[in-house]
Structure 1
Amino acid sequence: MSSRPLRPRIIVAANEHQKLFELAAGASHAAAESLLTEMERARVVPEGKLPSDVVRMGSRVHYRTDRDTSVEVTLVYPRDADISGGRVSVLTPIGAALIGLRAGQSITWEARDGRHHVLTVLSVSQPAERLEA
């Protein structure tokens, strides 16, 4: 793995950006710090201008790990998280890494044990109600 972390450009809808910034600022652990860093570097766009292949809250994300494992999760707020149900909190290291990425992008993220990993987003789908809006 490269010694330089992968930090691709990310995009976040304005309404989610504010909520996520406040969520991260109000928490006090490493994943919250990661989310805050991501929100600070994100390009913020109006809700209607966010491309449909961008990972956002409620997105179903299919990604590949650096161990060549394929994983599919839904990105959710902490209160809705259920790892056994495939619902990953945005306040986890993997959740903070996923937010704002597009299909095809890779990012380096730090696990709770301090090890660095790379994931690549393979596909992103949005909930049906969001697509109808």
Structure 2
Amino acid sequence: MYHPNRPIVSSRDLDRIEALLDATPERTLPGKGALIEELDRADIRAPHEMPPDVVTMNSTVRFAMAVPPKEFCLKLVYPEDADGTDRLSVLTPVGSALLGLAVGDAIEWPKPRGGMLRVDVLEVVAQPEREAYSP
């Protein structure tokens, strides 16, 4: 996995994701170790301190994947809210890769069956974490 910048994660998201990870066995979540590594090196901030161009939980994000070349616009959600259409669970490889990235960032993330996927963040369309604190 390579990403030159530290991911930025809100303290609220961190608490909930760590609880999810504690309750999820490694065998059912192959990318668990990679997500834990990213969270361990993350810049943790209060929700109201989140930059508006960073992907947080419940953000709608436009991103591209290199192989196959395709663009997506999805909402990053907790597993129980993923509906298979326009919502992406944070516990999927792409969801884990997106968390904490800013517009213009790219990351390579391990695929469950080997190899790497590349994700490029193009736009944070909506970020409720920050918007909830707007004056």
Kept in 1: contact 2:7–2:42 (CA 8 A): yes
Contact 1:35-1:96 at 8 Å conserved across structures: yes
Q: Show CA shifts across 1:37-72 (max 9, x none).
A: 221111101111101111011101111111331111
Would you say how many aligned residue pairs link Structure 1 and Structure 2? 128
Instruction: Give the equivalent residue in structure 2 for 1:44.
Output: 44
Q: Cα 1:22–1:132, aligned 2, differ >3 Å: closer, same or farther?
A: closer
| Structural mapping, 1:1-133, within 5 Å | 5-7=1-3, 8-28=5-25, 29-67=29-67, 68-83=69-84, 85-126=85-126, 131-133=131-133
Call closer, same or farther: CA 1:128–1:76 in 2, change over 3 Å.
closer
Structure 1 letter corresponding to 2:77: V
| Deviation for aligned residue 1:33 | 2.6
Q: What is the TM-score with the length of structure 2 in the denominator? A: 0.85
The structure 1 segments of at least 4 consecutive aligned residues displaced by more than 2 Å after TM superposition are 31-35, 125-130
Are the equivalent residues in 1 in contact too, given 2:76–2:87 (CA < 8 A)?
A: yes
> Which stretches in structure 2 are left out of the alignment for 5+ residues?
none
Structure 1 stretches of 5 or more lacking a match?
none
| C-alpha displacement of 1:127 | 5.1
Give aligned-pair identity as a percent. 33
TM-score (norm 1): 0.86
